[in-house]
A and B are shown apart, each in its own frame.
Chain A
Amino acid sequence: NAGVTQTPKFRVLKTGQSMTLLCAQDMNHEYMYWYRQDPGMGLRLIHYSVGEGTTAKGEVPDGYNVSRLKKQNFLLGLESAAPSQTSVYFCASSHWTSESTDTQYFGPGTRLTVL
């Protein structure tokens, strides 16, 4: 049981390049999330998904796209990377119940630098 895994762990991009970050969870969770963490800012929600085939925008979605074709995977794409997207990206997942949500489990993060 690996929990939440993220690929890659580190990446350096040049301005304008594109890339995809992969998040995978083996807990059969319905909900998945992408956050970014910047110094002194806490974590901010980029996009989220409440189930396979569904996605929605969070607080800071500009410049990112997501897809959830399989329940266990949540992909985050950067179409044309900008230096402002230099950050640490965290994926999280949680189980849903009829009354509320459960614990969000976080992956180890992807450290992205855009030059």
Chain B
Amino acid sequence: QQQVKQSPQSLIVQKGGISIINCAYENTAFDYFPWYQQFPGKGPALLIAIRPDVSEKKEGRFTISFNKSAKQFSLHIMDSQPGDSATYFCAASDTNSGYALNFGKGTSLLVTP
């Protein structure tokens, strides 16, 4: 049973545009919310992460917005570039299962020139 629901499944954005990916969760015990980026044939790599004590975190062109009451969080990619074309996964974890990550199903992002 998917504990983290992610949308959209795929996304096409023009270069310079904003890419937005959304995730929702039910388990209120989750206390760590990372986003991973994966290129074909590679392992996932941490992009940015947030904890529920803040509502927003920004690193360069990447921003996480977190809404604890709605149990939702999203990734915004500003000034999207063709090199951002990849699959993005949101995830969540808590103290159970050794902080193992519960992943969303992923969003395939294509940034066109």
Contact = CB atoms under 8 A, between A and B. Distances in A.
B43 A109 contact: yes
A35 B101 CA distance: 9
Main secondary structure of the interface of A (DSSP, over half): strand
A48 B89 contact: no
Contact of A33 (B98, B105, B106): B98
* Chain B interface bracket (under 10, 10 to 19, 20 to 34, 35 or more): 20 to 34
Contacts, number: 67
A105 B34 CA distance: 12
Interface in A13-67: 31, 33, 35, 40-45, 48-50, 56, 58
Contact of A108 (B2, B42, B89, B101): B42
B26 interface: no
B30 to A, nearest CB: 11
Interface in A58-99: 58, 90, 92, 94, 96
A57 to B, nearest CB: 9
A100 interface: yes
A100 B32 contact: yes
A103 B105 contact: no
Contacts of A106: 36, 43-45
Given A100-B31, A103-B34, A43 B44 contact: yes
Interface of A: 4, 31, 33, 35, 40-45, 48-50, 56, 58, 90, 92, 94, 96, 100-101, 103-109
